[in-house]
Amino acid sequence: MVIPKLTTLLNNSLSVNQAKQIHAHVVINTLNHLEPLLVRQILLSTSYYSRSIFQYVQKILHHLVSPDAFSWGFAVRYLSQHGQFKEAFCLYIQQQRVGLCPTTFAVSSALKACARGVCKIGGLLIHAQVYKYGFCCCVYAQTALVDLYSKLGDMENALKVFHDMQQKNVVSWNSILYGHLKSGNLVEARRVFDEMPIKDVISWNAMVSGYAKVGNDMDHACTLFQEMPLKNLASWNAIISGYVDCGRFESARSYFDAMPQRNNVSYITMMAGYSKCGDVESARGLFNQLSEKDILSYNAMIACYSQNSQPKEALLLFNQMLEADLNVQPDGMTLASVISACSQLGDMRFGSFVKNYIDKLGIEMDDHLTTALIDLYAKCGSIYKAFELFRSLRKKDLVAYSALILGCGINGKTLDAVKLFEKMVNANIRPNLVTFTGLLTAYNHAGLVEEGCKCFSSIMEYGFLPSSDHYGIMVDLLGRAGRLEEAYNLIKDMPMQPDTGVWGALLLACRVHNNVEFGEIAAQHCFELEPDTTGYYLLLANIYSSVGRWEDARELRKVTEQKKLAKISGCSWIKSS
């Protein structure tokens, strides 16, 4: 009686608690032959990846009385399907260590994991096993190999496997098409597309995306889109994404509005576009329209807030996500955006909470997350922790270098900032405007005027136009050194309208050196740009007092009292607890 009941239960969707109860009956009644079925049903019943659930499944696999390749292969596939590529490959290796010959099912899933996880060595090892186990004529293994080499950009091996295939299906053709597009060979991709005996909607979508992204040719993309015999959601999303990528947001919105139906990807694509152009309100409007919000939609909105200098809103939405009964678990992308928001606020306390949250959930500290933490620690004064994390990076990229250089600049580590910049350039990593902000900040902190001037000139040598922030730092550097006329001339030569950050830096320098002439000019511009801010009036009043112009000073102080003006907001990278 027990076996039929358990078998019936194991053919239905199970919660984790139900699975554990059934497993207890299986163990008590020594019904070991039902454990593979239990493994399969647990994984089928789980619509999202859960580390705790998989750890439970892994324990079952390692304690099977009669290990079977099917259960292990099913687990490898589960991991690969849910983006856990490293874990999928490791489990595939473990399967063979317990003496099991992998199924073609496991081989194709492991190859997919290597392709998505960009693990060429792992892919080559599995390719050798395809020959060893006699899977050379298996269409699934061959198709997975074509996909592997195409995604790795190795078109020579991809084409070799493809030409050796006796049965070429539309999936293998699409993999070759994707490979040419990934390598930027739009002409060859179009040739393959035209030669394809059968094209499915994925083939058409690939070419539409290819013209949009590789060729930056929205006219051809639109023509092909109109010619499609069948369009799905991915087709519409591809054309919208193309317009978003090239900055044509109105066209993107018109296609979005014309869609017969939309999915979360449609909304997320448009939200990313609005984020790109700084229209946070429109992005939030789309987010609110989503009936079912998943982790990707939360990630998009939190990132939008974080990238557009609205860190408080980013943290508020993150808290709402955690508090709501949504069954949505933050991932590495969520937490990287949240850490970025903490950096902007100088909120080390909340940042530490996020770090503990990462450790608690067992989320892998990839380079993206580590770089976000480097930025947080550097801006909050923990520069030694930032350096420690920087040294742990597998790949030190532009973002990581720039974050640490800026951190060194803020914390007065000028020599370290310069050494990092030199290392970055020697590693053939091209600096960006953020890098130069950090380096200029370092020179400014140390009062190194000549070095700062050379750095400022090198911004243009690299083909960039200095931003208002760069001009503000240079005006501050020159002004503090008493070179007020040079600072003023630099402002006059600015290609954009100077803001209060620039004029305020000159005004502050004039207060330090008690210079009335340039102080009045700077103050007048500050009054026009921010008429309700008291600080500028008081700075000029102090300049007048320093040279004995008491009446002028009194008049300015009267103005501030009459208007009840606001003070200039102070700012610190570190949030007080």
Residues 6+ apart with CB under 8 A from 52: none
Whether the Cβ atoms of residue 421 and residue 439 lie closer than 8 Å to each other: yes
Whether the Cβ atoms of residue 333 and residue 299 lie closer than 8 Å to each other: yes
**18, exposed or middle or buried, with CB in 10 Å at 0-12, 13-18, 19+?**
middle
Q: Of 304, 381, 383, 390, whose CA–CA distance to 341 is shortest?
A: 304
Q: For residue 574, what pLDDT is reported?
A: 46
Whether the Cβ atoms of residue 400 and residue 390 lie closer than 8 Å to each other: yes
Phi, psi of 483 (to 5 degrees): -95, 65
Q: For residue 116, what pLDDT is reported?
A: 87
Q: Of 277, 359, 371, whose CA–CA distance to 333 is shortest?
A: 371
Q: For residue 566, what pLDDT is reported?
A: 47
Q: For residue 215, what pLDDT is reported?
A: 53
Whether the Cβ atoms of residue 479 and residue 509 lie closer than 8 Å to each other: yes
Residues 6+ apart with CB under 8 A from 101: 69, 133
Read out DSSP for 237-259? HHHHHHHHHTT-HHHHHHHHHH-
How many CA atoms lie within 13 Å of 107's alpha carbon, on the beta-carbon side?
26
CA 53 to CA 409: how far, in whole Å?
A: 45
CA 236 to CA 233: how far, in whole Å?
A: 5
CA 370 to CA 392: how far, in whole Å?
A: 9
Whether the Cβ atoms of residue 181 and residue 202 lie closer than 8 Å to each other: no
- Coil, strand or helix at 184: coil
Residues 6+ apart with CB under 8 A from 376: 339, 340, 342, 343, 348, 351
**Binned average pLDDT, 10 residues per bin, the chain of 577 residues:** 68 72 74 76 76 83 84 89 89 89 90 87 90 86 91 91 90 93 90 94 93 80 92 93 89 93 94 93 95 91 94 92 76 90 88 84 82 90 91 91 93 94 94 94 94 94 92 95 94 93 94 93 92 86 91 85 56 45
Tell me how far apart the 2 most distant CA atoms of the chain are, in Å: 104
Residues 6+ apart with CB under 8 A from 414: 408, 442, 443, 445, 446, 448
Q: For residue 561, what pLDDT is reported?
A: 76
Q: For residue 509, what pLDDT is reported?
A: 94
Q: Which residues pair with 533 in a beta bridge?
A: 566
Domains of the chain and any CATH numbers: 168-262 (1.25.40.10), 365-466 (1.25.40.10), 471-577 (1.25.40)
Q: For residue 325, what pLDDT is reported?
A: 65
Q: Of 125, 115, 36, 120, whose CA–CA distance to 80 is shortest?
A: 115
Q: For residue 100, what pLDDT is reported?
A: 87
- Placement of tokens 């078998």 in the chain: 7
Q: For residue 512, what pLDDT is reported?
A: 93
Element (H, E) at 164: helix 155-164
- Coil, strand or helix at 119: coil
Residues 6+ apart with CB under 8 A from 483: 449
Q: Of 534, 538, 532, 533, whose CA–CA distance to 519 is shortest?
A: 538
